[in-house]
Amino acid sequence: VSNAGVGMAGPLECQSMAAMQSLMDTNFFGLVRLVKEVLPDMKRRRGGHIVVISSIMGLQGIVFNDIYAASKFAVEGFCESLVVQALRFNVAISLVEPGPVMTEFETKLYEEAERADYSRTDPETAEIFTNLYLRNSKDVFASLGQTPEDIAEHTLRVIEAARPPFRHQTNVAYTPMAALKHADPSGALMTDAFYKLVFKYDTVLRLSLR
């Protein structure tokens, strides 16, 4: 089970390249290093199961989560490319894709975001992040967030499955969000829906979550 991960949220201009590279080294290359170690023996035994804790953000990018989403997209692409070869050797690969999970991971991330310096971006972007994104995110976590125990139960079901699924989403509330991309290959439907959700209907969003 590959579970190591770090988060990053905020305006792109405020993130250092070193921090971005460190995140990718943990979230993506950490997984690659692990798979490189375990896969050869699984191939020799012609049996095994690699379970990767991914994220709904590996399927759908979220505003102000550019680098974190990129790392999870990389995880998804890596596993999707590897799964067919692995099946040839009777090795299963499963991606567990949670939405928001209420842990110290997120608490620390948002505490750091509230204290961060946003002088490297323009005032409008800083305002959108601090007064729209952070406020809405707290409501999303309070309303839709799962517990670590719930994610553990989902992961256990994937591990014990007679025919392990390649992808397993833990929160049905996010299924429509991911489906928007497949409904319109041009991306217009998804982009328009998220733009309106963030900039036009954020008050309705918060009220509905509460």
The predicted-structure confidence for 98-142, as pLDDT tens digits, reads as follows 988 887 777 777 778 778 888 999 999 999 998 888 888 877 777
| Residue 64 confidence (pLDDT) | 93
Q: Contact, 164 vs 92, CB < 8 A?
A: yes
| Residue 48 confidence (pLDDT) | 97
Q: Contact, 101 vs 46, CB < 8 A?
A: no
| Residue 106 confidence (pLDDT) | 73
pLDDT at 208 over 70: no
Question: Annotated catalytic sites, by residue?
Answer: 68
The CATH class, in words, for 12-209 is: alpha beta
Using one digit for the tens of pLDDT, what is the confidence trace for 23-44? 999 999 999 999 999 999 999 9
- Tell me the domain boundaries of the chain: 12-209
Rounded CA gap, 60 and 72, in Å? 10
How crowded is the C-beta side of 162, counted as CA atoms within 13 Å?
Answer: 0
pLDDT at 202 over 70: no
Buried b (16+ CB within 10 A) or exposed e, 133-150: bbebbebbbeeebbeeee
pLDDT at 168 over 90: yes
pLDDT at 177 over 90: no
